[in-house]
Chain A
């Protein structure tokens, strides 16, 4: 135990002298989170739309006037030929085509059609924006008809409320997601790259001629690097996320930090494991991309898990991130307590433990 403490303190002292790494840690927990969160467009931001007005009526003018920032760009009036070219070049995501005589036919009850062209290679905007355009057009037409003859059409209202994040601000979500990414990335790099560097400098070997076991060396790296990332993450949540970005966090911070600690246990072990697999720094770099990218993309932080193929959902249950993302969303946004997130905590303990055993076995061979 004493050795683990001593070696851990050594790691901390070493880190304290590495200015580049410290700057990197600082950057990824402050500026990086701030930029990522503020650059994230709100729900629908400046979606590029153009209008082909072949009707040139009062109604069609009203329709084109209904699209404005921040949700949409001010729509240029274009011709049908321009529409194809602009969409091909990716200048517009939406093009609303109002056919000739639209207003006249509408008033005559002949059920005319409007055409909305959507660039479906831009999926996110295609879906959300499509809904917006639909409801804006309906409202405008209803409003126009009301003014025409004062006849109000009774409808069934739909009161839509989003819970936990009423404005559906992506910045909130983006900030937390970024914190999670930073936690994972830094803990893997700090332990893994440091281990490779120590071996290249021969200091690891030197340690082993002393009465120190591989278990102690590994445990010391885990607690010291884990602690650094934990502190940085706490700072980031309290000062950057809650303070600067004014994201209201719901649940218990302590519970989230407990989850973070368990996540760090798993990822630091993973870092050591990857370092033992990679012989050289370039190989470690490539391996890092290979592991980090799927973990971040498929953990449910970027797109909802339930929409992924069954196989991937199952495989990703093996990654600590998946459970951590679930836990973070439950605790920080929905204010869930221990009664809700205990399965995730348990899963993290299990994954961390397994990675620890695996890493320790590889680490012993690595030292040969």
Chain B
């Protein structure tokens, strides 16, 4: 492939594309890079080789500007990457494709929309974008899939799409982090052909690639071999081979390792299986099929694996390997066909059968919060090993898998190879007869991989354990007794590696595999139709300070994602209506239907009159009379009565003679608000009864000193709870839901990795935040209209003021609410924490400190301070003012001002807190 036309001399004469001096980087206690000094030549393909976790990705992220520099100096394209100004200028000249299939793509967006988004970020006009996208999609063979969501592409296609997104702005430096990991060999070959074609058209392009595949690296121009955060060696592939005297790069890499790491390494050689022919059949799959909806993940797969065999399963990501394995373990019930383990059909509920099987899933799935010993111990107990044998068994496993040194360590602190050995030890703890291993060596360095396979060989040959293993590596496939090639849910061929190779007349297993794939894919396997023609007719505009187009790009994309996730939108819109309904009807501040009973020791006309006064009101319902104090006590304790009235003996007589008498009233104080209201009612009714009696008795005398107190309930003359509560619910709901959605929209990008696009493109923090915010502000305004409409027409609350004033305030308010979510998202990186955080800073202040039930002026201490500055308080005043008090802008100036300020202040805070680089 890409042999440079100009030869090696250019790498020496041209100024380097990147220079690193004493660069060090650590994540917590982990040292990712340890004093790297390196000049990377321009205009050629530079490869970083080495296993996972040696610092390749960190190095690339530093060069791309995605990672903040901790120590040392990084110069890229002739400028210091520590300076934000240089990063801004050079952003459009660098393209970065992070590790992970489609990591920086948006799965719900279509192929076209993904590329379009990147085009917008770099400020191309509409026509220019359309032209470029058409060219890129045509040349990568993706044109036919332009409308397919990126999440539904195969691994190879995702990587091609990633490349399109990276190339949209004509970069001078293309950084690819493991672009072909997890991609099938055919797509891998096509990918490199594409890169070669691009470089042929644009010879000045520098390409920086990290890879774990040594056979790929052999075709690069210049290599950097890395180990444990340090550079082992640099040079052309030829140099490295010559330096070590090795036959291939795998061997060369091992030879370059320090003595200690190499110790005990020997090439894997698996003794042939004793040809004791018809052994017991361990796994038997018969026409296994798995459908998810109308998608067939596994299509009519059959195989028989005898006991003790190492059976390899090859195929690209998403071809059905993992699904097949899950059906074999009983994790997934098959849609059709049967699977048998040792002659027994696999059933999902069959707990006993699982004792024979050890399973190691693709991703590390042990408990990271438990130590190595605790993990082993837990699994031993779950498999019901007799407790007295467990310590011995654990010790034995540790010896065998070399874990003695790290027994008390947490898995996350271990290197990947060690973690994989731990997973295998856990899978083996109960001495199963069958091991199912799903890509156990992805990302493990060659030395550790060889050690791993030696263990597998031993298990198979000595202990007669059957091993069913999936892998991407052809050299591992060659070690298996038999292999199956799988593509798009179907098994293409199944035989010994040698037989497969020979049947196709291919030199290597990989070529044979590609041959099979091409045959199977037929139409889909279109090679690039035309190499992309880089054109500089319309170069990307130089980045400006604040560009509404980039803001628009983020807003447009966020809106599309929101539109593609109808569940979230529906929950937000309909959920808020339900909540309003529930709270509006539920929080009833008119205390009514209170139960009371009387202990009447008098039984006179006067006492009956008094009882009637209370019982006749709409607030109280009289219960059967109280017999004595014990009865009173009992009934109040049970909560049967909220009020007890005691009328003393001789009440009527004393009253008539004008002697002072006293009526006793007990209120259930368990609920203070209610008790408070009851007290008010009783006092009022008592006073009213007295006045009435006085009038009836001696009208003339009573007149002296009498007065009336007219109470005018303003704004809500009937004192209806709905009128008081419904306008207050709108601010409450418009705070919590928009804040949470906005916070999650950013934190989700952080968790899923697409935040990298923000790190490495010229988009500024303000553009990013405002762009993310805009769709949620629009959604919240829609929500506001629905809530206001429901309040007016559903609940029948009178709207008396200026709707324009309310709507303006609502707009300011939702801007503040979403900005509050953005502030949280700036310093929180997990979704759980974001949910917690938003609930904490919105729920309590909005419900308790913003005047919903108790006015802000009555609060004390911290609560009062929060209430005064919290935007909900001000919007609550405006909502009530416009709903019930017939007010407009002029009357509410005092509340509009703080509300208008809140949004900009919060956004400013979020901009300050948000990082433009990973730390």
Chains A and B belong together in one complex: yes
* Chain A residues at the B interface, C-beta cutoff of 8 Å: 2-3, 6-7, 10, 13-14, 16-18, 20, 24, 32, 35-36, 38-41, 43-48, 73, 85, 87-91, 93, 102, 106-107, 109, 111-128, 130-132, 134-135, 137-138, 141-142, 145, 153-166, 168-170, 172-173, 185, 189, 193, 197, 201-203, 205-213, 279, 281-290, 293-294, 297-298, 302-304, 306-309, 312, 326, 329-330, 333-336, 340, 368
CB distance from B558 to the nearest CB of A (A): 13
Binds A, one of B53-61, B117-125, B456-464, B706-714: B706-714
Partner of A285, one of B661, B677, B744, B877: B744
> Contact at A154–B586, with CB atoms within 8 Å?
no
Question: Which bracket fits the contact residues of B?
Answer: 35 or more
Give 4 nearest A-B pairs by CB, closest first: A131-B680, A39-B863, A165-B669, A162-B669
Which positions 696-713 of chain B face chain A at CB distance < 8 Å?
A: 703-713
With both beta carbons as reference points, the residue of chain B lying nearest to A138 in the complex is identified as: B687
**A132 surroundings in chain B (CB, below 8 A):** 680
Q: Is B885 at the interface (CB under 8 A from chain A)?
A: yes
Given contacts A3-B384, A36-B848, A334-B636, 13 further A-B contacts (CB under 8 A): A3-B381, A32-B844, A102-B707, A120-B724, A127-B591, A145-B705, A155-B660, A162-B679, A163-B667, A202-B362, A211-B354, A290-B571, A312-B582
- A329 in contact with B703 (CB, 8 Å): no
Contacting A at CB under 8 A, from B79-96, are none
Contacts of A211 in B (CB 8 A): 351-352, 354-355, 382-384
Instruction: Tell whether A134 pairs with B683 under 8 Å between CB atoms, given A10-B370, A39-B861.
Output: yes
A-B contact list, 22 entries, CB within 8 Å:
A13-B374, A14-B369, A40-B854, A47-B855, A89-B895, A120-B717, A131-B681, A157-B662, A158-B686, A162-B668, A163-B666, A168-B676, A202-B365, A205-B365, A207-B382, A211-B382, A283-B568, A286-B572, A290-B575, A306-B592, A309-B588, A340-B637
Interface residue stretch chosen among B484-492, B498-506, B831-839: B831-839
Q: Do B351 and A90 touch across chains, with their CB atoms under 8 A apart? A: no
With contacts A134-B709, A289-B839 taken as known, whether A170 is within 8 angstroms of B673 at the C-beta atoms is: yes
Contacts A18-B369, A46-B858, A211-B384 hold; do A330 and B639 have CB atoms under 8 A apart?
yes
Question: Whole-angstrom distance between the alpha carbons of A286 and B672 in the complex?
Answer: 32
**Nearest chain A residue, comparing its CB with the CB of B355:** A211
Beta-carbon contact of B568 and A153 below 8 Å? no
Q: Contact: A39 with B849, CB < 8 Å?
A: yes
**B721 sits at the interface (CB 8 A):** yes
Identify which of A35, A120, A134 contacts B713 (C-beta below 8 A).
Answer: A120
Contacts of B713 in A (CB 8 A): 118, 120, 126
Residues of B within 8 A of A141 (CB): 705, 707
Given A24-B836, A286-B575, A153 contacting B705 (CB threshold 8 A): yes
Alpha-carbon distance between A88 and B257 when the two chains are bound, in angstroms = 80
B294 within 8 A of A: no
Cα–Cα, bound, A286→B733 (Å): 12
Given A121-B880, A158-B663, CB of A173 within 8 Å of CB of B672? yes
Task: Give the residues from 395 to 411 in chain B that come closer than 8 angstroms, CB to CB, to chain A.
Answer: none
Q: Does B853 contact A (CB under 8 A)?
A: yes
Q: How far is the CA of A125 from the CA of B856 in the complex (A)?
A: 12
B466 is an interface residue with CB less than 8 A from chain A:
no
B595 lies within 8 A of chain A by Cβ: yes
A90 touches B880 (CB 8 A): yes
Distance in angstroms between the alpha carbons of A279 and B658 in the assembled complex: 75
Q: How far is the CA of A137 from the CA of B329 in the complex (A)?
A: 81
CB distance from B516 to the nearest CB of A (A): 30
Say whether A154 contacts B658, CB under 8 Å: yes
Once the chains are docked, how many angstroms separate the CA of A213 from the CA of B710? 70
- B854 and A131 within 8 A (CB): no
- Can you name the residue of chain A whose Cβ is closest to the Cβ of B379? A210
What chain B residues lie within 8 Å of A163 (beta carbons)? 636, 666-669
**A281 with B835: CB separation less than 8 A:** yes
- Determine the chain B residues whose CB is within 8 A of the CB of A17 once the complex forms: 369
A164-B351 CB under 8 A given contacts A283-B567, A285-B744: no
Cα(A208)–Cα(B207), bound, Å: 45
Max count, chain B CB within 10 A of own CB: residue among A122, A125, A169: A122
Q: Is B578 an interface residue (CB 8 A)?
A: yes
A141 CB, min distance to chain B CBs, angstroms? 6
Contact B858 A125 (CB under 8 A): yes
Q: Are B853 and A88 in contact (CB under 8 A)?
A: no
A250 to chain B, nearest CB (A): 9
Complex Cα–Cα for A19 and B285 (A): 46
User: Is A111 a contact of B707 with CB atoms below 8 Å?
Assistant: yes
Interface check B719, CB cutoff 8 A: yes
Interface core residue of B367, B590, B662 (most chain A CB under 10 Å): B367
- Set of chain A residues within 8 Å of B572, measured between Cβ atoms: 286
Q: Is the CB of A340 within 8 A of B638?
A: yes
Whether B369 contacts A162 by the Cβ 8 Å rule is: no
* A296 to B: closest C-beta gap in Å: 9
| Chain A contacts for B662, CB-based, 8 A | 156-159
CA distance A87 to B713 in the complex (A): 12
Residues in B lying within 8 Å of A, measured CB to CB = 326, 329-333, 351-352, 354-355, 357, 359, 361-363, 365-370, 374, 378-379, 381-384, 567-568, 571-572, 575, 578-579, 582-583, 585-595, 636-639, 655, 658, 660-677, 679-684, 686-687, 690, 703-717, 719, 721, 723-725, 727, 736-737, 740-741, 744, 748, 831-836, 838-839, 844, 848-849, 851, 853-855, 857-864, 877, 880-881, 884-885, 887, 891-892, 894-895
Contacting residues, chain A, for B568 (C-beta < 8 A): 282-283, 286
CB within 8 Å for A38 and B680 given contacts A326-B639, A329-B671, A334-B637: no
Residue picked from B369, B663, B711, B839, most chain A C-beta under 10 Å: B711
A354 to chain B, nearest CB (A): 21
CA distance A152 to B804 in the complex (A): 58
Residues of A within 8 A of B884 (CB): 121
- Which residues from chain A contact B748 at a C-beta distance below 8 Å? 282
Which residue in chain A gives the minimum CB-CB distance to B645? A158
- In the assembled complex, the Cα of A326 lies from the Cα of B884 at a distance in Å of 35
**Residues of B contacting A145 with CB < 8 Å?**
705
Interfacial chain A residues near B583, Cβ < 8 Å: 293-294, 297
Contact A14-B367, Cβ < 8 Å, known A126-B719, A155-B690, A172-B672? yes
Interface-centre pick from B669, B690, B724 (highest chain A CB count, 10 A): B669
B752–chain A nearest beta-carbon distance, Å: 11
Docked Cα-Cα span, A303 to B863, in Å, equals 21
Contacts of B591 in A (CB 8 A): 127, 303-304, 307
The smallest beta-carbon distance between B653 and chain A, in angstroms, is 13
Q: Is the CB of B744 within 8 A of A281?
A: yes
Q: Determine the distance from Cα of A20 to Cα of B837 in the docked complex, in whole angstroms.
A: 11
> Of A166, A197, A297, which one neighbours B582 at CB under 8 angstroms?
A297
Which residues of A have CB within 8 Å of B638? Answer: 330, 336, 340
Residues of A within 8 A of B715 (CB): 119-121
Interface centre among A109, A201, A306 (most CB of B within 10 A): A306
Residues of B within 8 A of A279 (CB): 567
A123 touching B707, Cβ below 8 Å = no
Residue of B nearest to A9 (CB): B378
Give A106 to B709 CA distance when docked, in angstroms: 12
Q: Which residue of chain A has the shortest Cβ distance to B801 in the bound complex?
A: A88
Residue of B nearest to A311 (CB): B585
Q: Is the CB of A285 within 8 A of B740?
A: yes
Q: Which residue of A lies closest to B377 (CB)?
A: A6
Closest to B723 in A: A121
Q: What's the Cα separation between A113 and B4 when bound, in Å?
A: 102
Is the CB–CB distance between B370 and A161 below 8 Å?
no
Q: B671 near A173 (CB under 8 angstroms)? A: yes
Residues in A neighbouring B877, C-beta threshold 8 A: 89-90
Q: Which residue of A lies closest to B894 (CB)?
A: A89
* B585 A286 Cβ-Cβ under 8 A: no
Instruction: Determine whether the beta carbon of B637 is less than 8 Å from that of A335.
Output: yes
Give B595's nearest chain A residue, CB to CB: A306
Question: Is A48 a contact of B383 with CB atoms below 8 Å?
Answer: no
Residues of A within 8 A of B674 (CB): 303-304
Residues of A within 8 A of B727 (CB): 121
Complex CA gap A179/B661 in Å reads 43
